Amino acid sequence: MQNWLKCNSLTPDKANFNSLDNKHIMTRLVFLFFLFFSFGFFGQKTPTIIELLGHEVGAEFSRHHQVCTFYERLHVAFPEETVLLKYGETNEGRDLILFFIGSKALISNLNELQVKHLKRDPTALTPIVWLSYNVHGNESSATEASMETAYKLLTEHSTWLDETLVIIDPCLNPDGRDRYVNFYKQYETVQENIDPASIEHNEPWPGGRFNHYLFDLNRDWAWLTQVESQQRMMVYNKWMPHVHVDFHEQGYNEPYYFPPAAEPYHDIITSWQREFQERIGKNHSKYFDQKGWLYFSKEIFDLLYPSYGDTYPMYNGAIGMTYEQAGSGRAGKSVKTALGDTLTLRDRVIHHVTAGLSTIEVSIENKDELLKGYLGFNQERDYKYDYYILRGNAQRLDKLKEFLSKHEITFGSTRSDENLKAWSFNLGEVVDISIQENTDLILSTKQLKGPMIQVLFEPETFLSDSLTYDITAWSLPFAYGIDAYGVNGEVEVKQGPKSGEMKIDMPNCYAYLCKWNSMNSASFLQSILAKNIAVKVAEKAFEIKGQNFPVGTLVIPRGVNQSIAEFDDIIKSSANQTRVDIYPVASGYVSKGKDFGSSSYQEIYLPKVGVLSGGDLSPLNTGEIWHFFEKELDLPFRMFRISELNRRDNISDLDVIVLPEGQVSEMQLEKLRDWIDNGGRLLVFGEAAYNFVDDFEIAVKDVEFDYSASEREELSMLITGAIFNCELAEKSNSLIFGYERYHSLRQSAANFSLKNGKTLLSLSSNPKAVSGFVGYKAKENQSDAMILGEETYGKGTIVYFCDNPLFRGFWEHGKLLVANAIYFGND
């Protein structure tokens, strides 16, 4: 049985009614019973929107539980034309739902359609249009518009439903949206205040745009770091729509935006996708012209970065689009615009409803072409490389395999040990390689997701235009810190052996060793520290019985852990859970280097960590740090508002404080200075380093900014996201334990340096990006730029991560740098 059939209706206990008491649940049940008899059983009268929602769409903001109830009631009123599917839950326990709409015949044969469509059977003749609303929580008209769109489809456009399946996701980000709606309802006044300066038009930190962990879900479609994206991708892959629309809002003074999109377009996008976007835009303009609504297209919103709700569907063969209505977190229920008009929530809803219905109409009118174009998307393609061979640290490769599986991308290893000519990502040249059986990961572009593989793996993305303000490079081998080779021609791919549970042969050994080379090592360390195991770290490399152990190797001696009865079991279960290799050794006597009793092995303590938040700090970066500690490292920490620094001394017990990107006041800086002076370790992310330029050892050289420059000239001064190879200094320094090389995703052109202190990672004297756009003036400013450095202040230290290594949670190879700074800061 298909998943969608199992839960084709939200029962009250499945739905998100956690906040309702029994009385409310009873009221709901009675109401559903009433609906069934009024509309379902007798089939007499279609309920009105007010009967379904409690108010007209746009008259009020609807909280998420009300939205779920609306769809549940709509399903009861149209049981044969709709399916309601709960596909997941958010971090805060809200339901993620999909609403399928089609004719009775279509809905009763949904299973058959799905099977045929996924098999790419040319007799599957129904276009699938998927409408996604409110990925940004405070762009709040979208979810409201979804309800009216669904209602109108069923009541006014039912003839369309013979020819298309419409899938509606009313809210991709319910946690963020309810955060916004709760805020607005708290401050809205009886007489609506249209003055944009009033409180209901100004959200407090962090705002409703982001999800629970303050991630931007419209930057997460490809990386799938968040539970909302992960659960959505599972069901998206089961439907693979022909058309996907992502409904947004922009500033409240802007006209409506719809496609065609702006340049640059990724070169994987076909000419029929471009043409079809134009056809859709023209259809919308017909309706917008009739009403006299202002709109624009072909500007600002480009199609390059692969992790958006328009590009991701596009790279999977659909027509992916972004629609933008004026509004967002400033607009409330009504707001006075710069032109002196009043923009109401109702206006915003109508525009989105019109664009949504027009999308469905144009998809039906051009359905033959749409179906044909979709099927042809990945046929007869000339891929840059037929295969990618990926090689390196086993744990990092495992992490990449997990990622590929989430996208239903298939991979394997190979039997042959052929010699091949291959493009080396790291060397930037063609080399001879031979395949290493069962350890190399082989990825063929000759599969359904071939275009997506090229987009994610190719070493350099072709830019048809540089005018894009998102990152221009993301090539995954650099992000994962693995070797990659691009190959053309035939390579035999077969499934590699599945990795089973690790067998650790444990005699009554003297110590266990664990090499420090991936985030798995950090998770292992965290896991055993949390169970009070005493651990040391090797500050010098050593050798035992011909086996080399580099700096950073964890040494866990039995002798100092004698009081822990479950010692061996803890090591074994933690190693299995975190999938690290453990080496038991019989003696503390090493064949090369220092014995385990030497002072070159430092004890590691579980640090007390604080994370600053609020004020003028970036919610996104705060969220990245929060998510990293909580979900990846499982490290307990204290997050607190930066304003608390002024109020009381609540930091003296902390070993490490993390400062996200953003601005710090004089007083806050003074507090931090005293704390560092007393032995604290401050981790400074990205451009938060500017706060320290005047009074500390860090200096900065900015690109000279020309404020009279046009938007296009400004590009010459920018790096918005390009990949650079770094130079490693002092390999024995604990901040770069586990690194042989590092590629940084550079997000700014600012050139930081230390007047005094240690620069651990930096660019070369004449650096060139290995991937991505760098403006020519920005390029001139990159010489010897610091990427990671440390200064000593009093008894403490400041660590500067000049490029945020936790950016959007997808730069896997950067994460160990942060772990190093957390655990090895006590030397």
Sites of contact with Zn ion (CB under 5 A): 136, 139, 248
Question: 216 vs 458, which CB is nearer to Zn ion?
Answer: 216
CB of 182 to Zn ion, least distance (A): 19
Question: 142 vs 625, which CB is nearer to Zn ion?
Answer: 142
Question: 308 vs 457, which CB is nearer to Zn ion?
Answer: 308
Q: How far is CA 304 from the centre of its chain?
A: 16
Closest residue (Cβ) to Zn ion? 248
Question: 320 vs 486, which CB is nearer to Zn ion?
Answer: 320
Name the residue type at position 603. E
* CA distance linking residue 610 with residue 649, whole number of Å: 13
CB of 169 to Zn ion, least distance (A): 15
Question: 331 vs 658, which CB is nearer to Zn ion?
Answer: 331
Question: 209 vs 407, which CB is nearer to Zn ion?
Answer: 209
Ordered DSSP codes for 401-468: HHHHHHTT---BB-S---EEEEEETTTTEEEEEE--TTTSEEEES-STTHHHHHHHH-SS---S----
* CA distance linking residue 684 with residue 754, whole number of Å: 14
CB of 129 to Zn ion, least distance (A): 20
CB of 675 to Zn ion, least distance (A): 38
| 3-state SS string for 687-748 | HHHHHHCCCCCEEEECCCCCCCCCHHHHHHHCCCCEEEECEECCCCCHHHCCCCCCEEEECC
Measured from the Cβ of residue 285, the count of other Cβ atoms closer than 10 Å reads 15
Question: 139 vs 361, which CB is nearer to Zn ion?
Answer: 139
Question: 208 vs 373, which CB is nearer to Zn ion?
Answer: 208
Burial class (CB within 10 angstroms; exposed 0-12, middle 13-18, buried 19+) of 680: buried
CB of 444 to Zn ion, least distance (A): 35
Q: Could you tell me which of 632, 580, 685 has the C-alpha nearest to residue 809?
A: 632
CB of 143 to Zn ion, least distance (A): 13
Beta-bridge partner residues of 519: none
CB of 663 to Zn ion, least distance (A): 24
What is the enclosing helix (H) or strand (E) of 223? Answer: none
Question: 329 vs 486, which CB is nearer to Zn ion?
Answer: 329
Q: What letter would DSSP give residue 605?
A: -
Name the residue type at position 238. K
Copy the structure tokens of residue 741. 């090389």
> What three-state secondary structure class fits 651?
coil
Q: Could you tell me which of 455, 449, 451, 454 has the C-alpha nearest to residue 407?
A: 449
Question: 132 vs 414, which CB is nearer to Zn ion?
Answer: 132
CB of 136 to Zn ion, least distance (A): 4
Ordered DSSP codes for 319-342: EEEEEEEE-GGGT-SEEE-TTS-E
CB of 455 to Zn ion, least distance (A): 22
Question: 201 vs 248, which CB is nearer to Zn ion?
Answer: 248
* CA distance linking residue 140 with residue 134, whole number of Å: 6
Contacts of residue 212, Cβ cutoff 8 Å, sequence gap at least 6: 90, 91, 92, 175, 176
Buried b (16+ CB within 10 A) or exposed e, 384-396: bbbbbbbbbbebb
* CA distance linking residue 140 with residue 251, whole number of Å: 12
Question: 136 vs 384, which CB is nearer to Zn ion?
Answer: 136
* CA distance linking residue 314 with residue 327, whole number of Å: 26
* CA distance linking residue 37 with residue 31, whole number of Å: 10
Q: What letter would DSSP give residue 496?
A: P
H-helix segments, 366-389: 367-376
* CA distance linking residue 16 with residue 692, whole number of Å: 46
Question: 139 vs 178, which CB is nearer to Zn ion?
Answer: 139
